[in-house]
Amino acid sequence: MCGLWSGAGQGVKNTGLLGGTFDPIHLGHLELAELALKHAGLDEVVLIPSRRPPHKDEVQTSFSHRLAMTRLAVQGRAGLSCSDIEGRLAGPSYTLNTVRFFEQKFTNHRLHLVIGLDTFMELDTWFSWQELLECVGLVVAGRADYSFNGFESKAAYLGFIASGPQKWQNQAGRTLNYLARYPVPVSSTSLRKMLAQGGQTSEYIDKKVMDYISFNKLYGRG
């Protein structure tokens, strides 16, 4: 259990954690991270490829390839980095276990999960979600296909109370920030299909990542 957050102290950094299968990582993921940096007061965002996501079917591409693509994608993007931690943790990639690792490693960092509104609406299905929300804040990016009223209802159900414009807080002192901005509307699933069919994906995938995909003949490419 993480306990009550007493507020920011001297030298405390606000660190965002953005997890996903990243199969492949695309500009929507990167835009989400950069929106969180710009509009939620974060100092950095760490992108974390999931090894065995508990909410998804078998991942198509190996963890090593997805990690390599994520590392390439964050190169040259200020404030963004990549972690391989979920490749080193045993068992399914539960977010709570990842958060515990970061808590122990970075004691002067206040942690925030960076997620899309679709993920936020399913947060109460996650492993030990109540404990998770005692450990991290949330940065949620809106989506055109989800209503703000639905977001507010879910926020209340999860224990958050309004504390300012586009901002909520729970009893553990963890904050919830809502970003009324939409990242690039594209999914990794649709990109895998486009790649397999030889479609044009350059507007959705970083060039370094695209070169890696072609060189390694991933997704039927190359």
The pLDDT tens digits of the residues spanning 66-97 come to 999 999 999 999 999 999 999 998 788 899 99
The count of other CB atoms within 10 Å of the CB of residue 57 is 6
Mean pLDDT calculated for residue range 98-123: 94
Lowest mean pLDDT among 49-53, 54-58, 119-123, 204-208: 54-58
Look up the CATH number of the domain holding residue 77: 3.40.50.620
The pLDDT tens digits of the residues spanning 9-26 come to 567 899 999 999 999 999
Per the structure, how many domains does the chain have? 1
Give the whole-angstrom CA distance, residue 161 versus residue 164: 9
**Residue 215 maps to a domain:** no
**Residue 213 maps to a domain:** no
pLDDT value at position 2?
67
pLDDT value at position 53?
76
pLDDT of 61 above 90: yes
**Residue 168 maps to a domain:** yes
Write down the pTM of the prediction.
0.93
pLDDT value at position 7?
53
Give the whole-angstrom CA distance, residue 72 versus residue 75: 5
**Residue 156 maps to a domain:** yes
Tokens of residue 163, six digits:
């504390």
pLDDT value at position 43?
97
**Residue 4 maps to a domain:** no
**Residue 121 maps to a domain:** yes
Q: Where residue 112 falls among pLDDT bands split at 50, 70, 90?
A: very high
Give the whole-angstrom CA distance, residue 17 versus residue 113: 5
- E strand or H helix that includes residue 112: strand 109-116
Domain that holds residue 83: 13-184
**Residue 83 maps to a domain:** yes
Instruction: State the DSSP code for 123.
Output: G
**Residue 166 maps to a domain:** yes
